[in-house]
């Protein structure tokens, strides 16, 4: 520890090792068996349960909780994983407070939902930590499918296709599989290499080949995939980041929040990661919160999350906003960036206050900033893709694109929230449609 939180500029080693390890420990520790039974006993086993309806992957939540309560957590895991092969990751990263747990009747009755997310994790961990893969492949069909993107959408699609007997090749631009699970989610939500362990577990199904360093458009083309495979699924996410289009927006010290998050996730020595003393994150979604909180946890003295509208319009859930506030992140609302100031490197960022309908007020504020992280939306980087709509691949039904034989899902496709769980659902459903199409 050569620096402190007070050291100016962008510097590494602001904290001691113990602080890093404490700060990046797991946000929600796993339930122990007793806690799981107590939590499971609170489920009412509702009829046509609202939590199931609220789950993008339609997991039979009352059934899996009853299976936990009756001492069969592996059966519970199978119930979960048969709907959502990434049930382990979703248990960790789903905004359950706006999905299943918001719909839980006990949330309505007592303001305390059943701990569905943590119970799901209990069950999936119980199974996966034994190395059990409860699915097997159907007779091999001889059909081949190319999947682009080894993230939640692509791997979910690939796994379902593999179960159905098809051979799948997954192409991914990055050196490791997992997509945003591996590169784009705060470290404290999925520590200890869980994302890779989950991928390894998932691949036990067989019939899936991973090809790394294969970016669509650069290393492989859609035309080529179409000619080499019987079907193609596009699930490569959003590679581009919107630029900060203001005066000084290209100064040193201004960078993308997604890269910052990826650096934290891939770091083997958090003390070597530089972070500003005064960090400003621009944006209001999960990425913005993940970047802001992790800046603080790395030892930044002042972290400001600056959002153009009110808190009620932020894409980050209330839970995420509160988490940021509890870690000491200041949330500024109704501000839009006007200019980035500094002699070479950023020193200050200037905002204008805006009304709720985004009208400028003429009032501005300058706050110190030696690091600015952009989290103002991601874009689809593409050429030669199927038809787009609102900047994403247009799909109908279960992910059918404008090109025959090409399906798409996850963040790169239009529709649904940009959530891991939504991507898993879209990949799974596209796989079923691809199967019907190939075998029909």
Partner 1 sequence: MANLQSNFIGIKSPNPFWLASAPPTDKEYNVRRAFEAGWGGVVWKTLGEAGPPVVNVNGPRYGAIYGADRRLLGLNNIELITDRPLEVNLQEIKAVKRDYPDRAMIVSLMVPCEEDPWARILPLVEETGADGVELNFGCPHGMSERGMGSAVGQVPEYIEMVTRWVKKHTRMPVIVKLTPNITDVRKPASAAKSGGADAVSLINTINSITSVDLDLFSPEPTIDGKGAHGGYCGPAVKPIALNMVAEIARDPSLRDVPISGIGGVTTWKDAAEFLALGAGNVQVCTAAMTYGFKIVQEMISGLSDYMDDKGFASVDELVGRAVPNVTDWQYLNLNYVSKAKIDQDLCMSCGRCYAACEDTSHQAISMSEDRVFEVIDDECVACNLCVNVCPVEHCITMEAMEPGLTDPRTGKLVEPDYANWTTHPNNPSATAAE
Q: Which residue has the tokens 């100016």?
A: 8
Distance of closest approach, residue 61 Cβ to partner 1, in angstroms: 13
CA gap 206, 202 in Å, rounded: 9
Distance of closest approach, residue 102 Cβ to partner 1, in angstroms: 13
String marking each residue 286-315 x if it binds partner 1 according to CB under 8 A: ------------------------------
CA gap 180, 42 in Å, rounded: 33
Cβ distance to partner 1 smaller for residue 63 or 325: 63
Contacts with partner 1 by CB under 8 A: the residue count is: 15
CA gap 88, 109 in Å, rounded: 28
Cβ distance to partner 1 smaller for residue 66 or 311: 66
Distance of closest approach, residue 48 Cβ to partner 1, in angstroms: 6
Q: Which of 8, 25, 28, 109 binds partner 1 (CB under 8 A)?
A: 109
212 is a contact residue toward partner 1 (CB under 8 A): no
Query: Which span sits near partner 1 by CB under 8 A: 100-108, 140-148, 251-259, 303-311?
Result: 100-108
Distance of closest approach, residue 108 Cβ to partner 1, in angstroms: 5
105 is a contact residue toward partner 1 (CB under 8 A): yes
Cβ distance to partner 1 smaller for residue 45 or 404: 45
| Residue 316 in tokens | 């980050």
CA gap 159, 156 in Å, rounded: 5
CA gap 90, 325 in Å, rounded: 24
Q: Which of 7, 72, 82, 106 binds partner 1 (CB under 8 A)?
A: 106
Report how far Cα 350 is from the mean position of its chain's Cα atoms: 30
On the 0-12 / 13-18 / 19+ scale of CB atoms within 10 A, 362 is: exposed
Report how far Cα 302 is from the mean position of its chain's Cα atoms: 25
Between residue 399 and residue 438, which ones bind partner 1 under the rule CB under 8 A? none
DSSP readout, 184-204? SS-GGGS-TTHHHHHHHHHHT
Distance of closest approach, residue 76 Cβ to partner 1, in angstroms: 17
Cβ distance to partner 1 smaller for residue 70 or 224: 70
Distance of closest approach, residue 104 Cβ to partner 1, in angstroms: 9
Q: Which of 1, 108, 138, 318 binds partner 1 (CB under 8 A)?
A: 108
Distance of closest approach, residue 57 Cβ to partner 1, in angstroms: 21
Cβ distance to partner 1 smaller for residue 38 or 358: 38
On the 0-12 / 13-18 / 19+ scale of CB atoms within 10 A, 424 is: buried
Strand partners, 46: none
Rg (CA), the chain: 22
244 with 254: CB under 8 angstroms?
yes
Cβ distance to partner 1 smaller for residue 61 or 186: 61
Q: CA 110 → CA 42, 44, 103, 107, 438, distances in Å?
A: 12, 13, 12, 5, 49
Distance of closest approach, residue 189 Cβ to partner 1, in angstroms: 29
Distance of closest approach, residue 54 Cβ to partner 1, in angstroms: 12
Between residue 23 and residue 82, which ones bind partner 1 under the rule CB under 8 A? 37-38, 41-42, 44-50
On the 0-12 / 13-18 / 19+ scale of CB atoms within 10 A, 34 is: exposed
Q: With H, G, I as helix, E, B as strand and everything else as coil, classify residue 408.
A: strand
358 is a contact residue toward partner 1 (CB under 8 A): no
Would you tell me which residues interact with partner 1 (CB under 8 A)? Answer: 37-38, 41-42, 44-50, 105-106, 108-109
């Amino acid at each position: 520890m050569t620096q402190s939180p007070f050291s100016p500029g962008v510097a590494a080693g602001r904290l001691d090792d113990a602080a890093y390890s404490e700060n990046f420990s797991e946000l929600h520790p796993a339930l122990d068996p007793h806690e799981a039974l107590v939590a499971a006993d609170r489920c009412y086993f509702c009829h046509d349960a609202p939590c199931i309806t609220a789950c993008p992957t339609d997991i039979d939540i009352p059934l899996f909780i009853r299976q936990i309560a009756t001492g069969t957590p592996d059966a519970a895991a199978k119930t979960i994983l048969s709907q959502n092969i990434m049930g382990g990751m979703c248990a960790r990263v789903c905004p359950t407070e706006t999905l299943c747990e918001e719909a839980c009747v006990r949330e309505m009755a007592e303001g305390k939902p059943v701990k569905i997310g943590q119970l799901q994790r209990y069950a999936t961990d119980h199974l996966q930590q034994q190395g059990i893969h409860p699915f097997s492949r159907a007779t091999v069909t001889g059909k081949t499918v190319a999947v682009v993107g080894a993230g939640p959408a692509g791997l979910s699609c690939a796994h379902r296709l593999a179960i159905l007997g098809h051979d799948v090749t997954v192409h991914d631009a990055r050196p490791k599989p997992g997509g945003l699970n591996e590169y784009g989610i705060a470290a404290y939500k999925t520590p200890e290499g869980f994302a890779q362990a989950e991928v390894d577990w998932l691949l036990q199904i067989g019939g899936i080949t991973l090809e790394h360093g294969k970016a669509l458009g650069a290393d492989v083309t859609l035309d080529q995939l179409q000619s080499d495979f019987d079907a193609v699924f596009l699930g490569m996410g959003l590679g581009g980041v919107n630029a900060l289009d203001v005066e000084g927006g290209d100064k040193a010290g201004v960078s993308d929040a997604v890269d910052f998050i990826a650096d934290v996730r891939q770091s083997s020595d958090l003390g070597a990661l530089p972070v500003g003393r005064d960090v400003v994150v621009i944006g209001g979604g999960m990425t913005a919160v993940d970047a802001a909180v992790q800046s603080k946890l790395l030892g930044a003295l002042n972290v400001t999350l600056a959002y153009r509208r009110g808190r009620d319009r932020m894409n980050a859930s209330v839970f995420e906003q509160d988490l940021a506030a509890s870690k000491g992140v200041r949330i500024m609302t109704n501000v839009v960036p006007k200019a980035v100031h500094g002699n070479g490197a950023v020193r200050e960022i200037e905002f204008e206050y805006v009304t709720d309908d985004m009208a400028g007020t003429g009032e501005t504020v300058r706050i110190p900033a030696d690091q600015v992280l952009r989290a103002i939306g991601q874009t689809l980087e593409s050429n030669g893709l199927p038809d787009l709509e609102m900047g994403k691949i247009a799909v109908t039904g279960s992910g059918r694109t404008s090109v025959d034989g090409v399906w798409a899902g996850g963040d790169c496709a239009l529709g649904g929230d940009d959530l891991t769980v939504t991507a898993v659902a879209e990949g799974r459903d596209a796989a079923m449609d691809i199967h019907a199409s190939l075998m029909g």
